[in-house]
């Protein structure tokens, strides 16, 4: 039905949607990884910082669904499907821009919040099994010890002992002391890790949003061509 150059736009829109399907699957995978990783520290961070993984998965599923919708519209040359696809892309575009900006704003606020949480939870290490497991995972993953350093455990806890997760080559039956413990605290390493990941997520969101502008343009052009064809008929 759609002749000439519009056939080319139809093909480009179809290819665009196939790439978008791949992007959606990629986001679902990335979101799952982020969620699994941050869940290890959930007893330290709480739900405020473990939600981004779920959000990425949801965005991936939505993008996958919209792309499939767009493919159907392009193949069937259905005006309503193509226009609905364009409208949905526009809504997602606005949400991704807002989410990306929010991510960069959160990136600047994260340091003081996370340091407060780390110091608060450090004092609960020997009282709460969930906090203990999260802190052990944190110290092993980032090769760090305590919030500011291994002395935190000597001076700031009732037990005055350094957790075994602070020592790299710890073996059963040994003790972890200042000489064997990781010299760096977890504060800077963990904050930098969260900032980098939030920055990447925000950047991906904004990048995808601007790529979607191409899809919106293709959808509008194809919808207009289909409508003209209907008017001729």
Who contacts 137 (Cβ-Cβ below 8 Å, separation ≥6)?
Answer: 40, 41, 165
Task: Please give the pLDDT value at position 144.
Answer: 92
**Is 170 or 211 the better-scoring residue by pLDDT?**
211
Is the confidence at residue 2, as pLDDT, over 50? no
Q: How many residues does the chain have?
A: 233
Q: How far, in Å, CA of 36 to CA of 184, rounded? A: 25
pTM: 0.72
Who contacts 168 (Cβ-Cβ below 8 Å, separation ≥6)?
Answer: 143, 180, 182
pLDDT tens digits, residue range 36-72?
877 888 888 776 666 667 777 888 888 888 887 777 7
Task: Please give the pLDDT value at position 145.
Answer: 92
pLDDT, mean over the chain: 79
Who contacts 122 (Cβ-Cβ below 8 Å, separation ≥6)?
Answer: 135, 146, 147, 152, 156, 157
| Least confidently predicted of 40-44, 119-123, 199-203 | 199-203
Task: Please give the pLDDT value at position 29.
Answer: 83
Q: How far, in Å, CA of 32 to CA of 55, rounded? A: 10
């Amino acid at each position: 039905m759609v002749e000439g150059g519009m056939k080319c736009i139809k093909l480009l829109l179809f290819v665009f949607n196939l790439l978008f399907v791949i992007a959606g699957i990629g986001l679902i995978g990335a979101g799952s990884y982020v969620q699994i990783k941050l869940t290890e520290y959930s007893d330290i961070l709480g739900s405020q910082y473990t939600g981004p993984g779920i959000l990425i998965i949801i965005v991936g599923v939505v993008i996958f669904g919209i792309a499939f919708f767009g493919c159907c519209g392009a193949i069937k040359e259905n005006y309503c499907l193509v226009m609905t696809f364009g409208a949905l892309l526009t809504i997602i575009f606005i949400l991704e821009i807002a989410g990306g900006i929010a991510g960069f704003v959160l990136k600047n606020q994260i340091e003081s919040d996370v340091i407060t949480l780390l110091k608060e939870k450090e004092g609960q290490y020997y009282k709460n099994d969930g906090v203990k497991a999260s802190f052990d995972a944190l110290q092993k993953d980032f090769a760090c010890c305590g919030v500011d350093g291994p002395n935190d455990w000597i001076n700031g806890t009732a037990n005055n002992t350094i957790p075994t997760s602070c020592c790299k080559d710890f073996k059963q039956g040994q003790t972890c002391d200042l000489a064997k413990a990781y010299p760096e605290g977890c504060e800077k390493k963990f904050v930098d890790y969260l900032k980098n990941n939030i920055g990447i997520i925000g950047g991906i969101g904004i990048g995808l949003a601007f790529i979607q502008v191409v899809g919106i343009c293709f959808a509008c052009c194809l919808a207009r061509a289909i409508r003209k064809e209907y008017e001729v008929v």
